[in-house]
Amino acid sequence: MSMVNGFTPDDAARLTEQERRLVERRERLLGPAYRLFYERPLHTVRGEGVWLFDEQGRRYLDAYNNVASIGHCHPRVVEAMHRQAQQLNTHTRYLQEGILDYAEQLLGTFPSDLDRVMFTCTGSEANDLALRMARHYTGGTGIIITQFAYHGVTGDVAELSPSLGRGMVLPSHVRTVRAPDAYRLGADNVSALFEADIKAAIQDMQAHGIRPAAIVMDGIFSSDGVLVGPAGFMAAGIAAAQAEGLLYIADEVQPGFARTGLNMWGFMRHGVQPDMVTLGKPMGNGQPIAGLVGRSEVVDCFGRHMRYFNTFGGNPVSCAAGKAVLDVIQEQNLQQQSHAIGGYLLEGLSRLAQRHACMGDVRGAGMFLGVELVTDRVTRQPAAEQARKVVNSMREKGVLISASGPLENVLKIRPLLTYTQEHADMLIEAVDTAMADIG
């Protein structure tokens, strides 16, 4: 499977001797499934705040990594982990207060009916657990996802991830619906299309004797091409699915933890009520911690019949990291900052689109932005090659973004939540000059 912004062996001529040796060693030791970003892969050795540094000491403005969302190597997180690692690091089969303090604080950010939390190490595990719970609760197997979804790497959730590549054949219990492509389908249409697609998917499952269990949606539709969608568009479709007995699993691995602006959770933009929410990536700012938040009725139904133990999930060091992240977001009001700087970026990039004809659509919510490149604004012909060039040109200029989407033509921009206006200006300027470079 190729990757939009991926290094290929054809690019090897651009590498220094040292880089070539590292690439060869990786391939020999790790095999071909791993991918590197950029035509000239970046050899990172250090991170601090919004910056990544390469082995020569050159700094790069990070506008991509939503794991270190509150800043690389954040001192509060490092200190919390260090303190806890010196004291105790075991698992969830002993009484400990840290996990409970964190659980209370985390649940406090959700609507009150989402009142249980369980901890895992990765977003994939959280989605996998959510699927098991949905199937247990409903007695069904059928799942609805979007056409170019990504939900993770376990066997079950890879089957819900058509964006993994042509090798990923969808099983018979999975149905897809269109993502909210306001640019190509029309902003006014996406809500009705979403609802109609969901109803059709449910009917089709029933016609084939498949009992539906859940609808799983990444609320920012990241792998589908950063299809933010108009606020509220999901409400009718999700309500229709829930009326048919499906559980709604909001995959917040991408949009969660203030990424989409004022709301802590992406689903809140749409006024929908998930039955389960899965969390990951920025939850520990780099420490592997992820989790599932759900309605007690669903979580307890599973727990009464099945025990769950995840050796590293919810360990004291991970919980200390998670708590430090939440403290920083709340104390520094990063939701407000994500909203304000994200809005500033959206405006700045939209202004650039008036000058660069190739920028067909600029969209975003908070600090998650997509710029769709086209070769022709009327026909909206996707400009995948130009997207690749812009991403690589920006990397050379010291600003890190990537590209995504089924048409491989969407610049994917996820600045750190701690960006100031000065960082935003640097990012806008880098997009401007990279767009000018490709003509």
Residues 333-392 interacting with ligand PMP (rule: CB under 6 A): none
Identify any residues that bridge with 229 across adjacent strands, giving them in sequence order. none
Q: Which is nearer to ligand PMP, 255 or 348 (CB)?
A: 255
What is the x/- site pattern for ligand PMP, positions 24-63, by CB under 6 A?
----------------------------------------
Q: Which is nearer to ligand PMP, 238 or 253 (CB)?
A: 253
Pick the piece of the chain touching ligand PMP (CB under 6 A) from 11-19, 91-99, 119-127, 195-203: 119-127
Closest to 6 in 3D by CA, of 39, 42, 34: 39
Does 257 interact with ligand PMP (rule: CB under 6 A)? no
Burial 225-250 (b: 16+ CB within 10 A, else e): bbbbbeeebbbbbbbbbbeeebbbbb
Q: Which is nearer to ligand PMP, 141 or 222 (CB)?
A: 222
- Closest chain position to ligand PMP (CB): 123
Q: Exactly one of 251, 275, 361, 372 binds ligand PMP (CB under 6 A); which one?
A: 251
What is the x/- site pattern for ligand PMP, positions 63-102, by CB under 6 A?
----------------------------------------
Q: Exactly one of 123, 140, 291, 294 binds ligand PMP (CB under 6 A); which one?
A: 123
Contact 437, 429 (CB under 8 A): no
- CA 218, chain centre distance (Å): 7
Contact 276, 151 (CB under 8 A): no
Task: Name the minimum Å distance from CB 116 to ligand PMP.
Answer: 20
Closest to 130 in 3D by CA, of 70, 40, 217: 217
Task: Name the minimum Å distance from CB 251 to ligand PMP.
Answer: 5
Strand, coil or helix: 81: helix
Task: Name the minimum Å distance from CB 161 to ligand PMP.
Answer: 8
Task: Name the minimum Å distance from CB 127 to ligand PMP.
Answer: 6
Q: Exactly one of 5, 69, 124, 338 binds ligand PMP (CB under 6 A); which one?
A: 124
Task: Name the minimum Å distance from CB 166 to ligand PMP.
Answer: 19
Residue 431 backbone phi and psi in degrees, to 5? -65, -45
Q: Which is nearer to ligand PMP, 145 or 430 (CB)?
A: 145
Closest to 3 in 3D by CA, of 124, 226, 164: 164
- CA 365, chain centre distance (Å): 13
Q: What is the distance between the alpha carbons of residues 293 and 106, in angstroms, rounded to a whole number?
A: 9
Q: What is the distance between the alpha carbons of residues 160 and 169, in angstroms, rounded to a whole number?
A: 9
Does 253 interact with ligand PMP (rule: CB under 6 A)? yes
The DSSP symbol for 267 reads G
Does 254 interact with ligand PMP (rule: CB under 6 A)? yes
DSSP symbols for 208-251: TTPPEEEEEEETT-TTTT-----TTTTHHHHHHHHHTTPEEEEE
Task: Name the minimum Å distance from CB 220 to ligand PMP.
Answer: 8
Task: Name the minimum Å distance from CB 145 to ligand PMP.
Answer: 11
Intra-chain end-to-end CA distance of the chain, in Å: 29
Q: Which is nearer to ligand PMP, 224 or 359 (CB)?
A: 224
Q: Which is nearer to ligand PMP, 62 or 251 (CB)?
A: 251
Q: What is the distance between the alpha carbons of residues 4 and 7, in angstroms, rounded to a whole number?
A: 9
The residue count for the chain: 439
Q: What is the distance between the alpha carbons of residues 323 and 320, in angstroms, rounded to a whole number?
A: 5
Q: Which is nearer to ligand PMP, 127 or 285 (CB)?
A: 127
| Phi-psi group of 71: left, alpha or beta (phi > 0 → left; psi -120 to 50 → alpha; rest → beta) | left
Q: Exactly one of 60, 64, 148, 150 binds ligand PMP (CB under 6 A); which one?
A: 150
What is the x/- site pattern for ligand PMP, positions 275-294, by CB under 6 A?
-----x---------x----
Task: Name the minimum Å distance from CB 315 to ligand PMP.
Answer: 16
Sites of contact with ligand PMP (CB under 6 A): 122-124, 127, 150-153, 218, 222, 251, 253-254, 280, 290
